[in-house]
Chain A
Amino acid sequence: MARKVTGAKTAIWTAAAWLVGFIIFFPILWMMLTSFKTELDAFSTPPSFLFFHWTTENYATVQERSDYTLHAMNSIITAGGSTLIAMAIAIPAAWAMAFAPTKRTKDILLWMLSTKMMPAVGVLVPIYLIYRDFGLLDTRIGLIVVLCLGNLPIVIWMLFTYFKEIPKDILEAARMDGATITKELLFVLTPMALPGIASTLLLNVILAWNEAFWTLNLSTSAAAPLTTFIASYSSPEGLFWAKLSAASTLAIAPILILGWFSQKQLVRGLTFGAVK
Chain B
Amino acid sequence: MKNLIGAALSAAALLAAIPALAETTLTVATVNNGDMIRMQGLTSDFEGKNPDIKVKWVTLEENVLRQKVTTDIATKGGQFDVLTIGTYEVPIWAKKNWLVALDKLPADYDVDDLLPKIRDALSVDGKLYAAPFYGESSMIMYRTDLMQKAGLTMPDSPTWDFVIDAAKKMTDKANDVYGICLRGKAGWGENMAFLTAMSNSFGARWFDEKWEPQFDTPEWKDTLTTYVNLMKEAGPPGASSNGFNENLALFNAGKCGMWIDATVAASFVTNPKESKVADKVGFALAPNKGLGKNANWLWAWSLAIPAGSQKVDAAEKFIAWATSKGYTELVASKEGWANVPPGTRTSLYNNAEYTKAAAFAKMTIDSINSADPSHPTVKPVPYVGVQYAAIPEFQGLGTTVGQQFSAALSGATTVDAALAAAQKSVEREMKRAGYIK
Contact = CB atoms under 8 A, between A and B. Distances in A.
Interface of A: 39-40, 43-45, 65, 124-125, 128-129, 132, 137-138, 216-217, 220-221, 224, 228, 231-240
A260 B28 CA distance: 38
B33 A238 contact: yes
B305 to A, nearest CB: 16
Interface stretch (B16-24, B75-83, B104-112, B368-376): B75-83
Interface stretch (B153-161, B207-215, B243-251, B355-363): B243-251
Contact of B71 (A128, A233, A235): A128
A220 B264 contact: no
Given A234-B61, A235-B245, 14 more contacts: A39-B273, A43-B253, A124-B71, A125-B71, A220-B79, A221-B56, A221-B58, A232-B58, A232-B61, A234-B32, A236-B61, A236-B63, A239-B248, A240-B32
Given A65-B37, A125-B74, A128-B75, A237 B62 contact: yes
B60 A228 contact: yes
B17 to A, nearest CB: 20
6 contacts: A40-B252, A137-B79, A224-B58, A231-B61, A234-B61, A237-B262
B75 A231 contact: no
A235 B32 contact: yes
B75 A220 contact: no
A88 B117 CA distance: 60
B224 interface: no
Given A128-B75, A137-B79, A239 B274 contact: yes
Given A132-B78, A220-B58, A237 B244 contact: yes
Interface in B36-73: 37, 40, 56-64, 67-68, 71-72
Interface string B1-38: 00000000000000000000000000101011110010
A125 B75 CA distance: 7
A40 B56 CA distance: 31
B243 A65 contact: no
Most buried by B among A224, A233, A234, A236: A236
A53 B58 CA distance: 32
Interface string B298-338: 00000000000000000000000000000000000000000
Interface in B256-271: 262, 264, 268
Chain B contact-residue range equals: 35 or more
A125 B68 CA distance: 11
Contacts of B67: 217
Contacts of A129: 75
Nearest to B249: A43
Contact of A216 (B68, B244, B248, B273): B68
A240 B64 CA distance: 17
Nearest to B72: A128
A138 B79 contact: yes
Lowest 9 A-B CB distances belong to which pairs? A234-B61, A232-B59, A235-B32, A43-B249, A132-B77, A220-B58, A220-B79, A231-B64, A236-B62
B306 to A, nearest CB: 13
A235 B78 contact: no
Most buried by B among A129, A138, A232, A238: A238
Contacts of B78: 132
A165 B274 CA distance: 59
B75 A237 contact: no
A216 B77 contact: no
A1 B360 CA distance: 76
Nearest to B37: A65
B268 A236 contact: no
Given A39-B274, A216-B68, A235 B56 contact: no
A63 to B, nearest CB: 14
A180 to B, nearest CB: 42
Given A40-B273, A40-B274, A44-B253, A232 B60 contact: yes
A216 B27 contact: no
Given A44-B253, A132-B75, A234-B32, A216 B64 contact: yes
A217 to B, nearest CB: 6
Contacts of B244: 236-237
Given A40-B273, A125-B74, A231-B61, A236 B79 contact: no
Given A232-B59, A235-B33, A128 B27 contact: no
Contacts of B32: 232-235, 238, 240
A124 B57 CA distance: 23
Nearest to B64: A231
Given A65-B40, A128-B75, A220-B80, A236 B243 contact: yes
Interface in B212-263: 243-245, 248-249, 252-253, 255, 262
Nearest to B190: A236
A196 to B, nearest CB: 36
Nearest to B244: A237
Nearest to A45: B253
A236 B64 CA distance: 11
Given A39-B274, A236-B244, A217 B68 contact: yes
B248 to A, nearest CB: 6
Nearest to A217: B68
A128 B79 CA distance: 11
A237 B248 CA distance: 9
Most buried by A among B63, B67, B74, B75: B75
Contacts of B248: 238-239
Nearest to A132: B77
Given A132-B77, A228-B60, A235-B33, A220 B268 contact: no
Contact of B245 (A137, A231, A238): A238
Contact of A231 (B60, B72, B76, B274): B60
A239 B267 CA distance: 13
A228 to B, nearest CB: 7
Contacts of A239: 245, 248-249, 252, 268, 274
A184 B264 CA distance: 70
A234 B57 CA distance: 16
Interface string B261-298: 01010001000011000000000000000000000000
